[in-house]
Structure 1
């Protein structure tokens, strides 16, 4: 005892003990302070018993395939039985080999870390963190304190980890961990990671895939397989060695697995990229409105980004993919022809009026204007060059450009809208709102209204037939001047003077899209009758009451136009295209469901439907859309209508098959820029090819036989008899001698 006292009397020992005691006391004080909640309330056992995590809302296509998510953190939870055993083995062997022995804190690892990291300065010893400690960090995060942040956070996590171990089984802890742990690319949870990097559920991960994902946990950015595949594969091999070391795989298996290559099948569910981004954006808008009127059982509102909802949609992801590929194939060629046609005289380079008007519409221009900058100051600011990422059909690129340079660059691009629906329900199967959602956010299906051109003509002919006009009525091709409309004189595309003595019946007039006859038919049936007919089809836009209505000067939304055309293969009833069929909560309970919205009453008779449908078949067989037969060699039952607007600003095509109605539009977002020539801009050249390529791809896929092999209804004998006449005839001798009046008033009634 005396020798102990004598040692303690030595100053250096005394002060060393005081120092150690002070350090221990400091740690104790900090620990107690954390435990008592001085650095923020700790979750209680009750809190931990009902852990709630933000879960992504999943968007599924009509066949249940995941096509997108809405989330703050990309997370999809699974149950323990959904995890393959080799995934669990890889995780435990790599992250926490004594997981099944400790109670949340691995004292052996902590001692190793203390000796190697602190005493021997060996940074390879690791951090001694257990899976349970990591779970605590994943669940509750870390805060930044003024001093000793790491120590305070570590103490918090250790206390929470102990409580988690007391409440949950080891299986439950692994389940919670794998559902919350962050993987590369802002992905949370193993299910989301498996689908993003390998396009499969976690339950289907191979040994190599599971080890690759587990390997990224050490440093998610450094070992991101999308960015650093070789580095990620090396880390995967470390995981395999750990598995072999602790008896989870044999030496032979290790050698075999080492020889496997990591093969990614990356599927991003980022809102701006991936399949059907315009569709997903539109569904989100609709969901926010729907969820605003639905409450949970506890009276609170559903959160689109946190509550793990499952949204079933009408989209067919395979059809969507084929349509997107078809669009890109066509646009690569069309954009090239469009730019070459203008040469050095392109309006996006030379037309100062167009460029200046576009500059003044820029949000940046308006911002600078509002803060009081002069026009010259604004233009100077917008002329500063900086690195800019640019869209290109040959691959995105980065260039040093000013805001004005960038605006001129994008003015040249053609854009598109393409919608395909089931005509009997209105279910949306394909939805392309533009050429690339990353750079062109404007949705040309739901937001845009464009002049519809000759795609309006079938409605004029429908009203005419419905009001008693016979299919074999003949009209002269000759233009007429309408004196009560400012001597307006519509002509046909192609320029030259028409033979004034040649007459077409309604079928040839529509199938060849003759402008002069369409206006004459409108004049005879009356504008009001045509407008009433269109309203019955579900088009809500107020239409201009003028004879040019026959030529499609009305600006109509593409979605409404498609729903109206469905009537020709849906018992004369228009439909409202829709995207969402049902919404489920994360427990699988249906909280909302939606039925097709079909207009109740027939818009026109069965006779009228069959007559106009037969006329539109002639458009495809020998009219303005005949290249579907000659160029694309489609043998399907197809009716259709091409459309081109004034000055070649818009190109349209409507393709009707018995079980799918498709509408495509092509044009420039700047209404002042059109195609250089009708040859390039006409609907048959600018819009029809997307449909042609799309159906070529559908035809070779047996999954779509119900669409591609379908046949139109049997036409009644009356319809066939009434259409059985010569398509054209010439005036008799007396009419040719005495001629016809070239001026008349237009019938407004």
Structure 2
């Protein structure tokens, strides 16, 4: 039987070519899809991209800088605290630190690092990311906030790649690095490397050391996390990583790396917030000046300048060192004086007020309540007045001022008002009399808590600091000499004279009367009866006319004899300008604060032109200065010489900085008002006039006794400490010379010569050479 043959087996096809072709088709399609995806992104299908103009001129909010007379930025006006700097001001080690840490192949790629991208994809980012400096700049410039959605973040990444390649085509590598440094937000209101260097190290970028540069470059990883103020340990560790990267790529040696890593962080935090930093009160004055100036000076196209965005440069007369010395003097003395004031108030049931009724106290507090920011904000929200008042009686968390540091506490807003009124205030201004340039301006003890500027806005009674104007009028009108004598006896100006409705009989402080005294002694010891005799002779109106020519607002100054003792309210600003007339040989120069304004390109938009006025002769000015020199030689200002009442316990408790031991010529005048509410000192050397006021926020806030409340105790020490610092800084060239004597002087100021023809006058004190 024949057997059936089995069917032959089908031959296996081992040809893979169709599969390979399919793979390449899919791969090519994938590549084309990616290209199409990039094209669609570049065409704006997934969201707008910047056009050619935007890339050439990326929009920025540039801060307006306030630049001191010695070239230091003392403040800014900004929405973003950014001030661009050019590449040539960036030190090499700063640029090297950035490249070594962020993008070591920066100079080899065209915006996208292919090797880095493949590595990041292959190892899922575990061995570092692939983002180049150019991509990071693209993200800072043009893309919205980074999304947490993976799809959206992918789209953002594609946009960054496209923008990065465009940036590389249009800018040099140096320009890209510069833009990156200028754009990055280093937190704490430090946008850009210029702000960061000044805020964290109090120096410009050009002066950064290698270790400081590494600290700032380390913040590029995550500025919020590596914040030098809040996380110094983390910042130190990150800085050391940057230094290791610099050593790895041969920018520094291993030995240098090890030595730098061992250094402390040495952050010198210098915040530039509107409430912080140097010259805060002056900066607010400058802001108002700029706002007023902008209204009257539009751009060439008719639009208005914006001080928060246009990158203007405001060059001011303030000297950064003198401003620092002024603020230090105010802080040191006022913290010390406050201790004495608080000690006196321990047994004062109406503290911090004195000599007022309970109803008057309530009136002060209620007035302050209605003027407060809290009241204004709640009123603007439409809250009923009764509910606002109730809110001031409920305890809330708040931060209050103290001389050691701000205190976090819980109290009612009304209690906080009373608490803050318990602090004595101070104001100070210093000016070059020949030019009118204001060199220092301290408007209060702490701008954050006390925003009212007592230099220019605040006006208080000036006490005996007004007397030199009376003496100057008498010298000018009657050719009187410092050596002329008058009887130190009770003096009454009768009813009807000078328009008086009642007779006026001033009393001497301390009740000292008797004998004949010369004018120099009378002014040095602030004898009221002599000043009364002088104003009776010349009349009140000529004195008012004189101070008006010297820049004092006299609209509310009554033409009555009592102004001679300092009853008018005058500002520190006005007093310094007026006293400068004496030091400037009788010529008044209006105080200057803003020298010039430039736009971001350096074009001058405003240039100050000094305003001057001849007020009195150089002879009258010199003789008045000679009178005021007696105040510091053997009068109420003699503490500046080291001859004050240093043995007094009161003096030791209330005065700081003693002894001052000045030996150079100084003219000045102290002032103390009724109830010791205001203490003044006006001090002059030939090229610097400085005025100081100290007192309470309200006149009811004052010391119980004149020993503490007089100008020589409250205000003079600030002047003394400030001038000691100025003289110690030889670069400031503060004069130690004599005041300029007129070539022709017909009035005798050397009373030792005057005595030769008047030897029968025995009552004149020997210390005045008579």
TM range (shorter): 0.7 to 0.9
Q: CA distance change for structure 1 residues 527 and 491 in 2, over 3 Å: closer, same or farther?
A: closer
Distance in 1 between residues matched to 2:42 and 2:240, nearest whole Å = 40
Q: Does 2:596 align with 1:594? A: no
| Selected match of 2:42 from 35, 47, 58 | 35
Q: Does 2:739 align with 1:712? A: yes
Query: Equivalent residue for 1:137?
Result: 139
Q: Does 2:189 align with 1:162? A: no
| Selected match of 1:648 from 676, 682, 693 | 676
Query: Equivalent residue for 2:653?
Result: none
Kept in 1: contact 2:623–2:749 (CA 8 A): no
Q: What number of residue pairs does the alignment pair up?
A: 713
Q: Does 2:416 align with 1:406? A: yes
Superposed displacement of residue 220, structure 1: 0.5
Q: Does 2:263 align with 1:260? A: yes
| Selected match of 1:580 from 589, 594, 599 | 594
Query: Equivalent residue for 1:746?
Result: none
| Selected match of 2:181 from 178, 183, 197 | 178
Superposed displacement of residue 419, structure 1: 0.7
Superposed displacement of residue 506, structure 1: 2.6
Superposed displacement of residue 495, structure 1: 4.7
Alignment of 1:389-400 (within 5 A): 389-400=399-410
Deviations 1:197-244 (A, max 9, x none): 223332332221111111111111221223322221111111122233
Query: Equivalent residue for 1:152?
Result: 155
Worse-matched range after superposition: 458-467 or 282-291: 282-291
Superposed displacement of residue 644, structure 1: 1.2
Q: CA distance change for structure 1 residues 490 and 624 in 2, over 3 Å: closer, same or farther?
A: farther
Superposed displacement of residue 729, structure 1: 6.7
Kept in 1: contact 2:101–2:245 (CA 8 A): yes
Distance in 2 between residues matched to 1:175 and 1:86, nearest whole Å = 14
Q: CA distance change for structure 1 residues 406 and 203 in 2, over 3 Å: closer, same or farther?
A: same
3-state SS in 2 of match to 1:341: helix
Alignment of 1:513-592 (within 5 A): 513-542=526-555, 543-592=557-606
Q: Does 2:436 align with 1:434? A: no
Superposed displacement of residue 674, structure 1: 2.5
Kept in 2: contact 1:503–1:728 (CA 8 A): no
3-state SS in 2 of match to 1:74: coil
Deviations 1:69-111 (A, max 9, x none): 2222222222223322322222122112232333222333333
Q: Does 2:518 align with 1:505? A: yes
Q: CA distance change for structure 1 residues 306 and 689 in 2, over 3 Å: closer, same or farther?
A: same
Kept in 2: contact 1:637–1:657 (CA 8 A): yes
Kept in 2: contact 1:61–1:317 (CA 8 A): yes
Distance in 1 between residues matched to 2:439 and 2:212, nearest whole Å = 33
Q: CA distance change for structure 1 residues 528 and 84 in 2, over 3 Å: closer, same or farther?
A: closer
Distance in 1 between residues matched to 2:159 and 2:489, nearest whole Å = 86
Query: Equivalent residue for 2:79?
Result: 72
3-state SS in 1 of match to 2:669: strand
Deviations 1:260-286 (A, max 9, x none): 333223332222222221122212221
Distance in 1 between residues matched to 2:338 and 2:314, nearest whole Å = 36
Superposed displacement of residue 124, structure 1: 4.2
Worse-matched range after superposition: 657-666 or 151-160: 151-160
Kept in 2: contact 1:360–1:366 (CA 8 A): no
Deviations 1:556-597 (A, max 9, x none): 222122111111121211221111212223333322211322
RMSD: 3.3
Query: Equivalent residue for 2:655?
Result: none
Worse-matched range after superposition: 529-538 or 476-485: 476-485
Unaligned stretches of 5+ in structure 1?
118-122, 732-749
Query: Equivalent residue for 2:333?
Result: 330
Alignment of 1:37-76 (within 5 A): 37-38=44-45, 40-76=47-83
Superposed displacement of residue 622, structure 1: 1.4
Distance in 2 between residues matched to 1:54 and 1:457, nearest whole Å = 52
Deviations 1:438-458 (A, max 9, x none): 211111112111111111111
3-state SS in 2 of match to 1:614: helix
Kept in 2: contact 1:504–1:727 (CA 8 A): no
Distance in 2 between residues matched to 1:344 and 1:369, nearest whole Å = 38
Kept in 2: contact 1:215–1:239 (CA 8 A): yes
Query: Equivalent residue for 1:466?
Result: 476
Q: 4+ residue runs of structure 1 moved beyond 6 angstroms? A: 1-8, 20-30, 144-147, 726-731
Q: Does 2:262 align with 1:245? A: no
Q: CA distance change for structure 1 residues 86 and 699 in 2, over 3 Å: closer, same or farther?
A: closer
Deviations 1:97-148 (A, max 9, x none): 232333222333333333433xxxxx64444322111101211241588975
3-state SS in 2 of match to 1:448: coil
Distance in 1 between residues matched to 2:347 and 2:153, nearest whole Å = 63
Q: Does 2:313 align with 1:285? A: no
Q: Does 2:703 align with 1:675? A: yes
Kept in 2: contact 1:143–1:149 (CA 8 A): no
Distance in 2 between residues matched to 1:405 and 1:28, nearest whole Å = 69
Q: Does 2:631 align with 1:619? A: yes
Q: CA distance change for structure 1 residues 34 and 688 in 2, over 3 Å: closer, same or farther?
A: same
Distance in 1 between residues matched to 2:731 and 2:179, nearest whole Å = 39
Kept in 1: contact 2:477–2:538 (CA 8 A): yes
Superposed displacement of residue 31, structure 1: 5.4
- TM-score, normalised with respect to structure 1: 0.87
Distance in 2 between residues matched to 1:157 and 1:696, nearest whole Å = 58
